[in-house]
């Protein structure tokens, strides 16, 4: 936290204490009623703060936006609440969620997603390196037998498994270049073959 944020929090805290003290002093004879009102308002404010903080997670869980695929091979991916585009591909028959990353050169799997897709992660050889925002990482080159999204399927797709922990698998340009058109329109990424 920055010093200005801490100073603001201290100021708001002192202001709250002053207001509460003023209310208590003005309503000494009705302290029970004031306490009930204060508790009610406190619970309402806490519920509001919690709701605002959890809304993105709730929205994604309760009402997740789905990508759509047409028979012509056009994939429409909605922008997520966090500004990213997520696409679930079937890797060797297993669903794997990717964040679309046009800044990534390769299709990069987390070790967990690689294992979920049936790759023997214990026997992988991390002989390659990649430069990421977090520095240099070791990667293991792999070939994915089957990658599917809707009616689109590709065989023997090159990818890498990241040797370092990461949140999501990345759908990089090595796979995205298989599409003839990539565009962003009205909060949706459209991939067209």
pLDDT in tens, 9-53: 788 888 888 887 787 778 778 778 877 887 888 888 878 777 777
On whether the CB atoms of residues 108 and 139 are closer than 8 A, the answer is yes
Burial of residue 76 (CB within 10 Å: 0-12, 13-18, 19+) is: middle
pLDDT number for residue 60: 53
What would the mean pLDDT of 59-69 be, rounded to a whole number?
A: 60
pLDDT number for residue 139: 92
On whether the CB atoms of residues 56 and 82 are closer than 8 A, the answer is yes
Which three-class secondary structure string do you get for 43-98?
HHHHHHHHHHHHHHHHHHHHCCCCCEECCCCEEEEEECCCCCEEEEEEECCEEEEE
What sign does the CA torsion over 26, 28, 34, 35 have? positive
Percentage of the chain beyond pLDDT 90 is: 39
Which band of pLDDT confidence, cut at 50, 70 and 90, is reported for residue 55? low
Any idea which of 44-48, 70-74, 177-181 has the lowest mean pLDDT?
Answer: 70-74
pLDDT number for residue 63: 47
Any idea which of 12-26, 56-70, 73-87, 146-160 has the lowest mean pLDDT?
Answer: 56-70
Report the mean per-residue pLDDT for the chain: 85
Question: Quick one: CATH architecture of 68-192?
Answer: Beta Barrel (2.40)
User: How far are the Cα atoms of 140, 146, 173 from residue 128, in angstroms, in the given order?
Assistant: 6, 22, 17
Distance, in Å, from the CA atom of 47 to the CA atom of 27, rounded to the nearest integer, reads 26
For residue 73, pLDDT over 80 is answered with no
What would the mean pLDDT of 94-107 be, rounded to a whole number?
A: 93
Taking the alpha carbons at both ends of the chain, their separation in whole angstroms is 47
Structural domain spans, the chain: 3-62, 68-192
pLDDT in tens, 134-159: 778 899 999 999 999 988 899 999 99
pLDDT: which is higher, 100 or 15: 100
For residue 81, pLDDT over 90 is answered with no
Distance, in Å, from the CA atom of 138 to the CA atom of 28, rounded to the nearest integer, reads 68
- Residue carrying the six token digits 């009402």: 63
């Amino acid at each position: 936290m920055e010093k200005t944020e801490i100073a603001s929090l201290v100021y708001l805290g002192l202001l709250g204490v002053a207001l509460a003290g003023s209310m208590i002093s003005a309503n000494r004879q009705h302290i029970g009623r004031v306490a009930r009102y204060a508790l009610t308002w406190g619970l309402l404010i806490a519920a509001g703060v919690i709701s605002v903080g959890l809304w993105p997670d709730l929205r994604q869980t309760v009402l997740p936006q789905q990508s759509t695929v047409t028979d012509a091979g056009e994939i429409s991916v909605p922008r997520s609440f966090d500004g990213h585009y997520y696409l679930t591909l079937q890797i060797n028959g297993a669903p794997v969620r990717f964040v679309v990353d046009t800044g990534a050169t390769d299709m990069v799997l987390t070790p967990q997603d690689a294992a979920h897709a049936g790759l023997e992660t214990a026997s992988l050889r991390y002989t390659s390196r990649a430069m990421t925002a977090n520095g240099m990482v070791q990667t293991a080159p792999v070939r994915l037998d089957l990658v599917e999204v809707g009616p689109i399927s590709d065989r023997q797709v090159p990818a890498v498994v990241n040797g370092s922990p990461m949140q999501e698998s990345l759908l990089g340009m090595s796979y995205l270049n298989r599409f003839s058109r990539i565009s962003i329109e009205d909060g949706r990424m459209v991939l067209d073959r």
